[in-house]
Copies of this chain bind each other. A is one copy, B any other.
């Protein structure tokens, strides 16, 4: 069994070795996948959805098998005023798995070209396995999920990462998926929809709009494999030097330290949870107020609408199906402010309440705006001032997609901006400066970092 130290060693050797495939070869493969993908996605009235219907008692939109997911109501009580909204309820735990292997002395990931009906661009680069339990137990009688045997059942490799992580707390009810990375040494048969890429190649592809899908990003964020500390010494760029330090320093060192201890951070987080004066619960969809329900959509005309689509595809397990999707109005925004403190890059993390989160609060990016949110109202004055600082340097700015299997063209603008000493280390109570290493330690456990924060961690990996 390899230990984490040996994995790091693998990566340390990466500089001396070469990836299995060039990025040009990847793009050739990718373009062939696009050419071969024949997909049509058509909006249809709810009545034309096959096997989906509204329950006469609850008004919930659900599948006749009782599996997959349902659209129900979410009600928030307490707080300023009670409110309700539709929400996607998918209680089963899916698998988001990346198979990794040492090739030419370099850690490689087996990535998939995967079609999802909600994608703006049909195909995106996905984990080796991205499957709900209903998928892989074959409720809809499709072809079996490729490579699933590496993640489920008798162990065929070494588990490097294994953690339940949340998904959008604004749109899902207590959704969580198993983020899992398995290292194999055996030969793996390669299907044409899959491609081996070095970890660094995958990370660098996060700098392309709408390419690395949400499910891949969350798994990548949980892979705490860092560049060697020696990289710090040779890098002439101060941002990258502070970034590499941020991956390593745990604060035990005598000189420069993270601003806060892990104990301080955990206590800050519990304090934020304890301050919640509201609670949320599932209610029948028919009890949701303030949303229009027509034959084509359920909408509040501001945040999102529930629609139905009919899909025809030759690249997915099942060739033809229909399903509901959640379509947000407009684009979301997720932004981490980053600042070197004691020579170590710190990210400004926000304790963020979301009604559908399992435990109400998770750690979110500095700015976390949902589509339809009014930036001028929602943005904290401290953050607005920091964003207007002269010292801002934009290091990352891409538009990436949220889960295309449940959301219709849900896009988020992801940004990482560096600020200088003019932005203070003292911050409002719902914010806290943390190093990347501290976030990695939390990522071993579920329900600390929300999906948008994890996406941004995956983006941060592309900045080395």
Which positions in A face B, CB cutoff 8 Å? 78, 91-93, 95, 133, 159-160, 162-164, 176, 178, 180, 263-264, 266-267, 270-271, 273-274, 276-277, 279, 281-282, 358-359, 444-447
Contact = CB atoms under 8 A, between A and B. Distances in A.
Instruction: Pick the most buried of A93, A160, A358: most chain B CB atoms within 10 A of its CB.
Output: A93
B159 A279 contact: no
Contact of A266 (B78, B163, B279): B163
B91 A270 contact: no
Nearest to A274: B93
A33 to B, nearest CB: 30
A282 B73 CA distance: 13
Contacts of A273: 93, 164
Contacts of A277: 92, 133
11 contacts: A78-B91, A93-B276, A95-B274, A133-B274, A159-B267, A160-B263, A162-B270, A164-B270, A180-B270, A281-B281, A445-B445
Given A282-B282, A358-B359, A445-B445, A266 B162 contact: yes
Question: Which secondary structure characterizes the binding site on chain A?
Answer: mixed
A163 B281 contact: no
Nearest to A448: B445
A169 to B, nearest CB: 14
A178 B263 contact: no
Nearest to A179: B270
A386 B276 CA distance: 45
Contacts of A91: 78, 279
Contacts of A92: 277, 279
Contacts of A358: 358-359
Contacts of A445: 266, 445
A166 to B, nearest CB: 11
Contacts of A276: 93
A216 B282 CA distance: 33
A450 to B, nearest CB: 16
Nearest to A271: B162
B164 A263 contact: no
A263 B162 contact: yes
B93 A263 contact: no
Contacts of A159: 263-264, 267
Give how many copies assemble into the complex: 2
Nearest to A282: B281
A444 B266 contact: yes
Contacts of A176: 359
Given A282-B281, A282-B282, A358-B359, A178 B93 contact: no
A20 B176 CA distance: 49
A263 B159 CA distance: 8
B164 A267 contact: no
Contacts of A133: 274, 277
Contacts of A78: 91
A155 to B, nearest CB: 9
B266 A178 contact: no
A104 to B, nearest CB: 26
Contacts of A274: 93, 95, 133, 178
Given A91-B279, A159-B264, 14 more contacts: A93-B276, A95-B274, A159-B263, A160-B263, A163-B270, A164-B359, A178-B274, A180-B270, A266-B444, A266-B445, A281-B281, A281-B282, A282-B282, A358-B358
A264 B267 CA distance: 27
B162 A267 contact: yes
A273 B444 CA distance: 16
A162 B266 CA distance: 7
A91 B273 CA distance: 12
A256 to B, nearest CB: 17
Closest 8 pairs between A and B when the two form their complex, measured CB to CB: A91-B279, A162-B267, A93-B274, A159-B267, A162-B270, A281-B282, A445-B445, A178-B274
A437 to B, nearest CB: 16
Contacts of A93: 273-274, 276
Contacts of A180: 270
A444 B358 CA distance: 19
Nearest to A278: B91
Nearest to A270: B162
A162 B159 CA distance: 30
A134 to B, nearest CB: 11
